[in-house]
């Protein structure tokens, strides 16, 4: 943002200006890949890898920053992984290429990507990532420098993804079918284009030794994380995709008769362009609500995945996109502007999420807060109202189960503190008192088991000591009373004796 933009923001949104200022001042990048000490792992000293980093900046502004902050060689590996998938996606999306041209390239891309000297120059001039394929030699050179365990993962994921993309591209070209029909078909598509990305990244974490070996086998959770991001992007990019005649929303959702009946008995939509036609606003919002409910179904699995991560850089890499996805869902929900233009969250909100997405507890509370906002906007006449309430309630339940809201972390010590106003605090305190009592009884029993006569002797000694103390106290009291009596008698005799 330029100086003029910052000044305008200061005058119009002072709180957002403060957030951005805090981000600029306090948020420091975890690493600088251009630093000479980082060259062995980042590869910045090689012209080919430096060009790959430049392509990353050009193709993904949102992911570029978090990728560069990954530790060690992971940043370079994930950068190349991203570029390979971006190249594959560019060919699949290019509407100027015939199906006959696409099919052999898509189905062999995992081999072509690592073939020295291979490039592709036939993409349409309007494809924004066309230059990446034109200069593919720099990518293939760096791919062949990777350790075999990393390269095998990239090739395996690329082969799986290219198969799915080729199948969908062939179906669209041969059947003239513009729409995804069922939710299962929609889920499969999202798995191919995003769930497999989550699988590949998870296998990287394990292969690098940054995370546990068994994490790489958590395919259901990694798929949920990637699918949630993809489905959020599909909702947000509706109008942009519709203008290019690309429709990813499943007919099983947008074609439901219930949405038409809920707005006065109107018929169900038969064409997705009807969603942004004048007069269909309310019915379109019910369709959008159904899409949001579908995405929220992946939220708890995504939180489960994040709880398994132990490395801070890996956690931040995964958590920041997830919290931004929740923010984007909240922005889109019940917002008809989404059907008219491309919308996105404000920079200050994005900066705040980056600074706050540092641990599983805070991320869970971010999910919960956005779920509450979504639920607050829902209206009972929405046919999805009950399902939406259940989905938001599951997020709330997940947070309370794993990170109860009445337990707070002390600002200085970091230890747990309990909210005195919450009834659950009394239950915890009673349980703690009972635990202490059980621990005391256990220690006493252990002493009795080790030295059966020790406690009896100690009790007898304590009894003797108590008797002696009683005699001492009684004798002392008697002497005090006697002394006081004698003193009083002496004073009386002295006073009345003279008289």
200 in Cβ contact with 219 (< 8 Å):
no
d(CA 437, CA 435): 5
Place of tokens 């990532």: 129
Structure tokens at 380: 């009972």
DSSP string, 130-145: HHHHHTHHHHHHHHTT
Q: Report residue 31: phi and psi, to 5°.
A: -155, 160
d(CA 148, CA 403): 40
DSSP string, 243-280: HTT---S-HHHHT-HHHHHTTTSPPPPSSGGGGGSTT-
Q: Which residues touch 427 (CB under 8 Å, ≥6 apart)?
A: none
- CA-based diameter of the chain, in Å? 142
CB-side exposure of 175: number of CA atoms within 13 Å? Answer: 10
Q: Between β-strands 407-409 and 416-418, what pairing exists: parallel, antiparallel or unpaired?
A: antiparallel
Active site residues: 189, 236, 246, 317
364 in Cβ contact with 403 (< 8 Å):
yes
Q: What is the DSSP letter of 297?
A: T
Q: What is the DSSP letter of 36?
A: G
CB-side exposure of 91: number of CA atoms within 13 Å? Answer: 31
286 in Cβ contact with 259 (< 8 Å):
yes
174: number of Cβ within 10 Å: 9
């Amino acid at each position: 943002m330029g100086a003029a933009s910052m000044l305008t923001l200061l005058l119009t949104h002072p709180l957002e200006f403060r957030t951005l200022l805090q981000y600029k001042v306090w948020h420091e990048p975890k690493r600088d890949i251009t630093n000479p000490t980082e060259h062995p792992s980042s590869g910045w000293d090689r012209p080919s890898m430096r060009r790959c980093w430049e392509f990353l900046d050009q193709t993904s502004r949102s992911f570029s920053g978090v990728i560069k902050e990954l530790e060690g060689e992971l940043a370079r590996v994930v950068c190349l992984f991203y570029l390979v998938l971006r190249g594959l996606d560019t060919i699949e999306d290019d509407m100027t290429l015939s199906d006959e041209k696409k099919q052999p390239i898509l189905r062999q891309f995992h081999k072509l990507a690592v073939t020295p000297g291979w490039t592709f120059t036939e993409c349409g001039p309007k494809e924004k990532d066309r230059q990446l394929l034109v200069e593919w030699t720099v990518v293939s050179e760096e791919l062949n420098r990777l350790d075999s365990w990393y390269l095998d993962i990239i090739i395996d994921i690329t082969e799986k993804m290219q198969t799915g993309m080729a199948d969908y591209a062939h179906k669209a070209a041969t059947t003239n079918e513009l729409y995804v029909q069922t939710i299962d078909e929609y889920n499969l598509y999202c798995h191919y284009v995003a769930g497999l990305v989550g699988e590949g990244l998870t296998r990287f974490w394990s292969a690098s030794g940054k995370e546990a070996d068994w994490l790489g086998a958590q395919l259901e959770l990694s798929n949920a994380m990637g699918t949630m991001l993809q489905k959020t992007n599909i909702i947000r990019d509706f109008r942009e995709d519709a203008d290019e005649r690309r429709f990813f929303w499943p007919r099983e959702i947008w074609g439901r008769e219930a949405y038409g009946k809920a707005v006065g008995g109107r018929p169900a939509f038969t064409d997705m362009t009807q969603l942004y036609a004048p007069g269909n606003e309310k019915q379109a919002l019910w369709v959008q609500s159904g899409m949001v409910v579908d995405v929220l179904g992946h939220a708890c699995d995504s939180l489960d995945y994040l709880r398994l991560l132990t490395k801070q850089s890996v956690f931040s890499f995964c958590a920041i996109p997830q919290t931004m996805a929740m923010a984007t869902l909240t922005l889109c929900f019940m917002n008809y502007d989404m059907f008219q233009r491309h919308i996105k969250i404000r920079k200050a909100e994005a900066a705040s999420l980056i600074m706050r997405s540092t641990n599983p507890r805070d991320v869970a509370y971010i999910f919960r807060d956005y779920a509450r906002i979504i639920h607050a906007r829902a209206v009972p006449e929405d046919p999805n109202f009950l399902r939406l309430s259940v989905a938001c309630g599951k997020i709330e339940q997940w947070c309370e189960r794993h990170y109860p809201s009445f337990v707070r972390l002390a600002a200085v010590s970091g230890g747990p503190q309990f909210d005195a106003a919450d009834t659950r605090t009394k239950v915890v305190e009673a349980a703690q008192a009972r635990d202490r009592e059980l621990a005391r009884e256990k220690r006493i029993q252990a002493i009795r088991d080790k030295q059966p006569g020790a406690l009896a002797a100690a009790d007898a000694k304590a009894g003797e000591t108590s008797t002696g103390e009683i005699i001492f106290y009684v004798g002392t009291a008697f002497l005090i009373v006697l002394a006081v009596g004698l003193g009083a008698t002496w004073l009386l005799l002295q006073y009345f004796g003279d008289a």
